[in-house]
Structure 1
Amino acid sequence: MGRVAVIGEHTAVTGYALAGALVLLAEDENTVRVAWSGLPDDVEVVVLTPRAARALGAARTAKLLPLTVVMPS
């Protein structure tokens, strides 16, 4: 079974660690892209903050996995 990762700003994502998600803090566009490109192979779902989703643009849907979900604004 794959893991869930969460990428985004500290205040929006840290609580997901309590549920066992891999939390990757990314406060700017560059760190979002670095976090995305460095995702472990066993990550199947990535939850993104709206800012992180905008930073990734079309890259987040360019392949089948990982599946991405964007938090509501």
Structure 2
Amino acid sequence: MGRIAVLGEDARVRGFALAGALVRPADGPREVAEAWNTLPADVRVVILTPRAAEHLKSAHLEHERLTVVMPP
């Protein structure tokens, strides 16, 4: 079974930890890329904030993980 990770600005992602998600706060482009590249292999679904999605290139999103973007 895979895990869910939530990646983006701290204020928008921290509450997901209460639901058991792996939370990766990341604000700038470098932090977002590092958080994405270091996600554990068992993460199957990634929820991104809109800003985090903007920081990632489309090549990052082409992966075997299901990736969704939160509404603004």
Both structures adopt the same fold (TM-score exceeding 0.5): yes
| Aligned residues with identical type, % of pairs | 56
Specify the SS of the correspondent of 2:46: strand
Which residue in 1 is equivalent to 2:67?
68
2:3 & 2:22 partners in 1: Cα distance?
A: 7
TM-score normalized with structure 2 length: 0.95
Deviation string for 1:19-67 (max 9, x for gaps)?
000000101111000000001000000000000001112034322x211
Specify the SS of the correspondent of 1:72: coil
Runs (4+) of structure 1 moved beyond 2 Å?
none
TM-score normalized with structure 1 length: 0.93
1:61 & 1:52 partners in 2: Cα distance?
A: 11
Aligned length, in residue pairs: 72
Bigger mean CA deviation after superposition, 51-60 or 11-20: 51-60
What are the ranges of 5 or more consecutive residues in structure 1 without an aligned counterpart? none
Instruction: Give the letter for the 2:66 counterpart.
Output: L
RMSD: 0.9
What are the ranges of 5 or more consecutive residues in structure 2 without an aligned counterpart? none
